[in-house]
């Protein structure tokens, strides 16, 4: 067996299974082995019904008094069994598994494993796993991998296939140069793969993870290195001589820049007037006012006769920036006597609309282009691109760099980010990147008031929401899911909106927003929210980054324990943007102490970097791959904060291979680059 073989060569993988695995990006043996578990679980001591805690995953002793019954109809067919013990009752429900009625034997003792929920005053456990007592003892001693799934791919399938490969005992070639591996005391590749899927114990898992995390950083560093040109000190062909427009624009603002904003703007202006190409990261926590700095830089570039481009991660954000730029520049246009021409380019434009934008760009009828990654498609040709700014993208990705090289232009580059990028990463990404920091919020801001509460607080929260709406304010409510799921008892946007409409008075305008909606619909909802035609917006995390509605004063997050702290911090950043006092309500649906402690970090601090690092300290080994710090910098297995030493090491080691890369490693780098091709936001 070769590691590059198709998964079709495995037993049990036919056309259908192959297609399903493809959906997860698994095509080859290698893809499969590198589809690492999302997390790991161990199985608890089984308990009796009387010790059940609602909302928790647990193993319950069960004696089947009666054989299970089948309930046809409804959306899906159910098989139901009931456990009785003293005065306690637990209903077990399986979906689409009619064969269980034959398989489960009346009068026998089992252990059922799953989450106990309360529905209509009854305890239920959906899709419990079934064990007999002996099996359970065996499994209890193991660490069980949990994979991310898609339709048609179950845990068992992934476990079975990876097992099949490991059991064949084929040793794959370790592409990491052996001397390096030994020097760094990293586990051998095959061993690491086995232990990541089937860890013997936590210690081995840690060792395996370290090796694979190193690999990920190392390949990343090598890939960047290969793309890096001598760009760092490229002479600039876009030299700026005046900032008259920027100065007039500043005067037209209703506020004064903070000292930190002023300092950053000065640093950027200095770059623009120097003979070298700017390569700068502008880091500032949510709400610190990065957009206005981008506007100043873009205005200055346009004043000197060049074009600028602002790239953002979502369509919603692109549209918001577009609207606010058009509006903000109105006054300045009057002063300078002509329009500043702004274009919006997103994936959802029609072909015809796109063509018009392309044409206007190449003939320099657009001064500033705002858009999603659609702006770096091949067809986009600027007439004279002088500045590229990325907002909330955290890195100017591999592809973007390539795109610029293809175009043969060396515009100034400004990367704006609210995520505190560790310095180690910045160095790998940009070599000697310059960094400006906005470490101060506008003085007019009142600190956001936070609370962590249980679901019993909901009526009070709704009252509060109602009052805020009465005072003309707007509200965000975040749910983790879009629609109801059979398997997860989490709040979802659609049902939640229905519920809320029944609870709140009918004059309160409630709408929802989520990523699966059509772009036009999303835009419409956001537009109505900006225009205060919507009071309460129930949304998934699509509004996480960048959105700016200063009149919104309440952020309420349902199932907040399900989110990473950095992500919650981003969400919180959507309020507290205006003069009014803002509030953040973290609704917690489990009563776990640990979850509470985590969430309390957010209450204690409003400092993004502090929050990210404290979160880390609280995460135990079981959480190792658990909650991502931020959905934005997405390494597979490695974690930028937790593994920053490893990242630094990988960066240093990559340098040794600058002039010569062993061929095995080269294949891996090329594969890595291919895989990240579509990931503009890596
Ligand atoms: P972020 O850094 O999160 O991108 P924004 O640029 O969206 O923040 O700014 C948030 C809000 O703060 C905007 O409404 C903006 O107009 C306002 N703002 C920016 N700078 C200042 C300032 N110096 N004083 C008062 N308000 C400001
Ligand atoms: Mg922003």
Residue 619, pLDDT score = 55
CA 440 – ligand 2 centroid, Å: 15
Least distant ligand from the CA of 283: 1
Q: How many CB atoms lie within 10 A of CB 636?
A: 13
Low-confidence ranges of the chain (pLDDT < 70): 73, 227-234, 393-408, 419-433, 485-488, 544, 546, 612-613, 615-634, 641, 676-682
| Backbone region of residue 525 per phi and psi (left: phi > 0; alpha: psi in -120 to 50; beta: other values) | alpha
Please identify every residue whose CB atom is under 5 Å from ligand 2, which is an ion. 546
The 10s digit of each residue's pLDDT in 119-163 is 888 999 999 999 999 989 888 888 888 888 777 788 889 999 999
Task: Locate the ligand 1 atom nearest the alpha carbon of residue 288 and give its number.
Answer: 2
| Distance between Cα 475 and ligand 1 center (Å) | 19
| Cα 439 to ligand 1 centroid, rounded to whole Å | 13
Across 499-651, the runs of DSSP E, i.e. the strands, are 510-513, 536-539, 552-557, 583-588
Q: Which distant-in-sequence residues (6+ apart) come within 8 Å of 507 by Cβ? A: none
* DSSP 8-state symbol, 483: S
Residue bearing the CA closest to ligand 1, atom 12:
289
Residue 57 · residue 125 · CB < 8 Å: no
Q: Are 354 and 296 in contact (CB under 8 A)?
A: no
Dihedral angle, C-alpha 449, 452, 458, 463, nearest 10 °:
-10
Instruction: Using the mean position of ligand 1's atoms as its centre, give its distance from the Cα of residue 206 in Å.
Output: 43
Kindly identify the ligand whose nearest atom is closest to the C-alpha of 438: 1
Its sign, for the CA torsion 477, 481, 484, 487, is negative
Cα–Cα nearest to 47, from 126, 112, 118: 112
Closest atom of ligand 1 relative to the 577 alpha carbon:
11
> How much is the pLDDT for 621?
35
Q: What is the pLDDT of residue 5?
A: 92
Quote the ligand 2 centre to 133 CA distance (angstroms): 55
Ligand 1, pocket residues at CB < 6 Å = 255, 257-258, 261, 284, 286-292, 418, 442, 444, 548, 550, 573, 577
Are the C-beta atoms of residues 607 and 321 closer than 8 Å to each other? no
What is the number of the ligand 1 atom nearest to the C-alpha of 292? 6
pLDDT of residue 627: 36
Pocket-testing residue among 257, 262, 291, 547, ligand 1, by greatest number of atoms within 8 A of Cβ: 291
Contacts of 668 (CB under 8 A, 6+ apart): 175, 219
> Relative to the alpha carbon of 444, which ligand is closest?
1
Question: Considering all CA atoms of the chain, what is the largest pairwise distance in Å, rounded to the nearest integer?
Answer: 88
Q: How far is the CA of 288 from the centre of ligand 2 (A)?
A: 8
In b/e form, how buried is each residue of 332-371, taking b as 16+ CB within 10 angstroms? beeeeeeebbbbbbbebbeeeebeebbeebeeeebbbbbb
* Cβ atoms of 634 and 675 closer than 8 Å: no
Which residue's CA is the nearest one to ligand 1's atom 4?
290
What tens digit of pLDDT does each residue of 37-49 get? 888 888 888 999 9
Residue in 197, 149, 159, 154 with CA at minimum distance from that of residue 10: 159
Nearest CA to ligand 1 atom 18: 289
A 10 A CB-CB count for 243 gives: 20
Q: Which ligand is nearest to the CA of 310?
A: 2
CA angle 519, 418, 531 (to 5 degrees): 40
For residue 294, the CA-to-ligand 2 centroid distance in Å is 10
Quote the pTM value.
Answer: 0.65
Q: Separation of 279 CA from ligand 2 center, angstroms?
A: 19
Nearest CA to ligand 1 atom 23: 257
Q: Residue 419 in contact with residue 341, Cβ under 8 Å?
A: no
Give the pLDDT of residue 678. Answer: 37
Q: 385 alpha carbon to ligand 2 midpoint, in Å? A: 22
| Contact residues for 416 (Cβ-Cβ < 8 A; gap 6+) | 281, 282, 283, 284, 290, 293, 294, 389, 390, 391, 392
Supply the residue whose CA is at minimum distance from atom 9 of ligand 1. 289
β-strand partners of 40: 145
Quote the tokens at residue 324: 């606010």
- Phi, psi (rounded to 5 degrees) for 453: -135, 160
Q: Which atom of ligand 1 is closest in space to residue 548's alpha carbon? A: 7
Give the span between the Cα atoms of 303 and 310, in whole angstroms: 16
Closest ligand to C-alpha of residue 282 is 1
441 Cα: distance to centroid of ligand 1 (angstroms): 8
């Amino acid at each position: 067996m070769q590691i590059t073989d198709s998964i079709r060569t495995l037993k049990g993988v036919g056309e259908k299974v192959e297609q399903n695995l493809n959906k997860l990006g698994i095509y080859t043996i290698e893809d499969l082995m590198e589809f690492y578990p999302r997390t790991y679980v161990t199985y608890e001591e089984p308990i009796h019904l009387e010790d059940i805690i609602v909302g928790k995953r647990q193993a319950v002793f069960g004696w089947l008094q009666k054989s299970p019954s089948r309930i046809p109809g409804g959306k899906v067919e159910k098989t139901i069994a009931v456990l009785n013990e003293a005065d306690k009752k637990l209903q077990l429900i399986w979906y689409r598994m009619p064969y269980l009625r034959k398989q489960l034997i009346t009068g026998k003792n089992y252990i059922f494993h799953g989450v106990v929920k309360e529905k209509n005053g009854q305890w239920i456990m959906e899709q419990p796993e079934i064990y007999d007592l002996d099996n359970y003892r065996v499994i209890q001693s193991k660490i069980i991998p949990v994979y991310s799934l898609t339709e048609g791919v179950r845990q068992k399938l992934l476990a079975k296939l990876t097992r099949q490969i490991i059991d064949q005992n084929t040793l794959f070639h370790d592409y990491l140069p052996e001397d390096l591996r030994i020097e760094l005391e990293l586990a051998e590749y095959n061993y690491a793969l086995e232990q990541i899927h089937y860890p013997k114990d936590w210690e081995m898992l840690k060792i395996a993870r370290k090796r694979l995390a190193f690999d990920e950083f190392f390949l990343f560093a090598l890939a960047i290195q290969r793309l890096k040109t001598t760009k760092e000190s490229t002479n600039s062909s876009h030299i700026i001589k005046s900032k008259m427009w920027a100065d007039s624009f500043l005067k037209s603002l209703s506020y004064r820049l903070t000292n930190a904003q002023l300092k950053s703007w000065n640093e950027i202006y200095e770059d623009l007037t120097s003979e070298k190409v700017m390569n700068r990261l502008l880091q500032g926590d949510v709400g610190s006012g990065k957009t206005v700095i981008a506007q100043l830089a873009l205005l200055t570039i346009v004043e000197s006769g060049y074009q600028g481009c602002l790239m953002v991660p979502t369509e919603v954000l692109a549209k918001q920036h577009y609207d606010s730029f058009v509006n903000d520049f109105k006054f300045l246009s009057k002063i300078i006597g002509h329009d500043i021409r702004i274009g919006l380019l997103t994936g959802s434009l029609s072909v015809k609309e796109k063509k018009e934008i392309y044409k206007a760009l190449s003939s320099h009828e657009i001064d500033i282009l705002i858009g999603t990654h659609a702006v770096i498609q091949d067809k986009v040709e600027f007439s004279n691109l002088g500045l590229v700014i990325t907002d909330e993208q955290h890195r100017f990705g591999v592809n973007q760099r390539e795109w610029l090289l293809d175009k043969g232009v060396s515009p100034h580059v400004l990367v704006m980010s609210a995520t505190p990028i560790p310095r180690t990463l910045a160095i790998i990404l940009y070599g000697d990147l310059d960094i400006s920091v906005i470490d101060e919020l506008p003085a007019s801001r009142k600190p956001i008031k936070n609370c962590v509460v249980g679901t019993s607080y909901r009526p009070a929260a709704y009252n509060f929401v109602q009052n805020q709406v009465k005072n003309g304010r707007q509200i965000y409510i975040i749910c983790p899911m879009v629609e109801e799921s059979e398997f997860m008892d989490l709040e979802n946007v659609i049902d939640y909106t229905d519920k809320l409409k029944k609870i709140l008075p009918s004059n309160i305008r409630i709408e929802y927003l989520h990523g699966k909606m059509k772009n036009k619909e999303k835009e419409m909802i956001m537009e109505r929210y900006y225009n205060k035609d919507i009071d309460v917006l129930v949304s998934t995390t699509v509004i996480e980054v960048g959105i700016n509605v200063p009149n919104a004063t309440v952020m309420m997050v349902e199932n907040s324990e399900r989110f990473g702290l950095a992500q919650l911090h981003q969400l919180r950043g959507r309020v507290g943007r205006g003069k009014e006092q803002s509030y953040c309500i973290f609704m917690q649906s489990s009563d776990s102490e640990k979850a509470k402690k985590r969430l309390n970090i957010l209450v204690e601090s409003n400092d993004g970097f502090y929050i990210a690092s404290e979160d880390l300290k609280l995460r135990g080994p079981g959480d190792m791959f658990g909650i991502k710090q931020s959905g934005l910098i997405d390494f597979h297995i490695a974690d930028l904060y937790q593994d920053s030493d490893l990242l630094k090491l990988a960066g240093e080691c990559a340098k040794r291979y600058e002039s010569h890369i062993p061929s095995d490693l080269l294949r891996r780098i090329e594969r890595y680059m291919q895989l990240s091709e579509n990931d503009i936001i890596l």
